[in-house]
Amino acid sequence: MVMSDRLAQIPDSYFGKTMGRTIEHGPLPLINMAVGIPDGETPKGILDCFAEAIRKPENQKYVAFHGKETFKQAIVDFYQRQFGVELDKEDEVCILYGTKNGLVALPTCIVNPGENVLLPDPGYTDYLAGVQLAGAQPQPLVLTPPYYLPQWHNVDTDVLLNTRLVYLTYPNNPTGSVATKDVFDEAIAQFKGTKTKIVHDFAYSAFGFDHKNPSILQSEGAKDLAVEVFSLSKGYNMSGFRVGFAVGNKDIIQALKKYQTHTHAGMFGALQDAATFALNHYDDFLVYQNEIFKARRDKFTAKLIEAGIPFEPMQGGIFLWLKTPENYDSERFEAYLLKEKSILVAPGIPFGEHGRGYVRISLAVDDERLMEAAERLQSLKHLYK
């Protein structure tokens, strides 16, 4: 095999090697609760806009590297409407070809080899690859139950001094925890006047069950050191479109834009038109999405509580963080659920060392299968005695 040393040292992407594989399971019909892809259809108006945009001659050619003015303006208007945050569409907006691309590229853009990057543990699996590709040093930002929020005083001072980037993600993938504005205020205050920058992964922004999820950019001084990465995949059921954007600190944004001029040649114009239409016309759909997943959370967790099966509070996002029974680590329990109950979940260990005693359950399945899965899990209550 021909592979650079740097690439060879990076573990295979967990979801890259598991999505699309043939699943061998027990005798019951398979219920796939492993993947965070909302199960609803893309709204018809967005699809109609996309179909019409494909036929436009100007969309069949190269477009501006940094995006159409209409798309960037839609992003600016959306953030003003939703969060009361003002953005400069040229200096503070970077269009992304799927948010994962931006999140993985960011360390290469602003971190030097040997410098520290703090990664939430537990947190999204592919942050690590971006740090390793940059030759930087990953350091854990340990998040503890039940609320999984940063405890800055618990991070070693020497680690903080050499830290150049911190990843935050709320609603948290995989734990379903959320942050208040106070949490972001504290993070900004912690790193104000230092060389450390913050990236907030806001992929599940639409899903806040007890209160609307705040943007980190609502905190005073946030633009001095933070960017936020927003995805259209989850809230708008547009995961296959691979469209997102980063907003915030102009220096980080310019670094990302420079990087993309060497790796991409402009997003397909029709995709930009569809994303523009979504941002401009589907605020109500985001509310509807939130209501769907809140109702699923309520029904699913009621079944678990009834059976005495422990889980962490799910206050947002689309994932439930389920404790494994005693004497089961996450991978063994994943295999057990698949064999005995034909339920496919994600083991906790790819999300960090502190995921060993958990599995991640996606609620992105229809209500009938969700309740069937809950009843199958209820039958395992003896394992938790």
Place of tokens 């990953």: 138
pLDDT at 264 over 90: no
Average pLDDT over all residues of the chain: 93
Across 83-121, b (16+ Cβ under 10 Å) vs e yields bebebebeebbbbbbbbbbbbbbbbbbbbeeebbbbbbb
Handedness of CA 216, 278, 281, 39 (dihedral sign): negative
Range of the domain at 24: 5-42+284-384
343 beta partners: 31
| Per-residue pLDDT, 111 | 96
248 beta partners: 227
Q: Are residues 201 and 87 in the same domain?
A: yes
| Phi, psi of 116, rounded to the nearest 5 degrees | -85, 145
**CATH number of the structural domain spanning residue 94:** 3.40.640.10
Q: Are residues 13 and 49 in the same domain?
A: no
141 beta partners: 120
Q: Are residues 99 and 237 in the same domain?
A: yes
When pLDDT is averaged across residues 7-23 and rounded to a whole number, the result is 68
Domain total of the chain: 2
Residue 229: in which H helix or E strand, if any?
A: strand 226-231
pLDDT at 301 over 60: yes
Provide the pLDDT confidence category of residue 30 given band limits of 50, 70 and 90.
Answer: very high
| Per-residue pLDDT, 146 | 94
| Per-residue pLDDT, 21 | 64
Going by C-alpha positions, the residue among 304, 358, 308 that lies closest to residue 333 is 358
Q: Are residues 51 and 37 in the same domain?
A: no
Provide the pLDDT confidence category of residue 106 given band limits of 50, 70 and 90.
Answer: very high
| Per-residue pLDDT, 230 | 96
Across 286-323, b (16+ Cβ under 10 Å) vs e yields beebbebbbebbeebbebbeebebebbbbbbbbbbbbb
| Per-residue pLDDT, 19 | 55
pLDDT at 270 over 70: yes
When pLDDT is averaged across residues 229-233 and rounded to a whole number, the result is 95
Interval 165-203: pLDDT, tens: 999 999 999 999 999 999 999 999 999 999 999 999 999
pTM metric for this prediction: 0.94
Domain final residue, candidates 222, 249, 282: 282
| Per-residue pLDDT, 15 | 62
Provide the pLDDT confidence category of residue 299 given band limits of 50, 70 and 90.
Answer: very high
Interval 41-87: pLDDT, tens: 999 999 999 999 999 998 888 787 788 999 999 999 999 999 999 99
* % residues pLDDT > 90 (the chain): 83
Q: Are residues 268 and 361 in the same domain?
A: no
Residue scoring higher pLDDT (209 or 58): 209
pLDDT at 258 over 70: yes
Q: Are residues 159 and 244 in the same domain?
A: yes
pLDDT at 354 over 80: yes
* % residues pLDDT > 70 (the chain): 97
| Per-residue pLDDT, 344 | 95
Query: Following DSSP, what letter does each residue of 241-300 receive, concatenated?
Result: G--EEEEE-HHHHHHHHHHHHHH-S---HHHHHHHHHHHHH-HHHHHHHHHHHHHHHHHH
Q: Are residues 79 and 169 in the same domain?
A: yes
Domain final residue, candidates 282, 304, 333: 282
Residue 231 contacts by C-beta under 8 Å, 6 or more apart in sequence?
A: 98, 99, 202, 203, 205, 244
pLDDT at 108 over 60: yes
| Per-residue pLDDT, 17 | 54
Q: Are residues 103 and 187 in the same domain?
A: yes
Q: Are residues 229 and 136 in the same domain?
A: yes
Question: Tokens in use for 42?
Answer: 């893309």
The least confident of 4-8, 49-53, 260-264 is 4-8
| Per-residue pLDDT, 321 | 98
Q: Are residues 72 and 104 in the same domain?
A: yes
Q: Are residues 191 and 298 in the same domain?
A: no
When pLDDT is averaged across residues 101-125 and rounded to a whole number, the result is 95
| Per-residue pLDDT, 16 | 55
| Per-residue pLDDT, 3 | 78
Residue scoring higher pLDDT (11 or 31): 31
| Per-residue pLDDT, 64 | 72
- Check: CB of residue 356 under 8 Å from CB of residue 349: yes
Interval 304-313: pLDDT, tens: 999 999 999 9
Q: Are residues 139 and 23 in the same domain?
A: no
Domain final residue, candidates 267, 282, 297: 282
Provide the pLDDT confidence category of residue 13 given band limits of 50, 70 and 90.
Answer: low
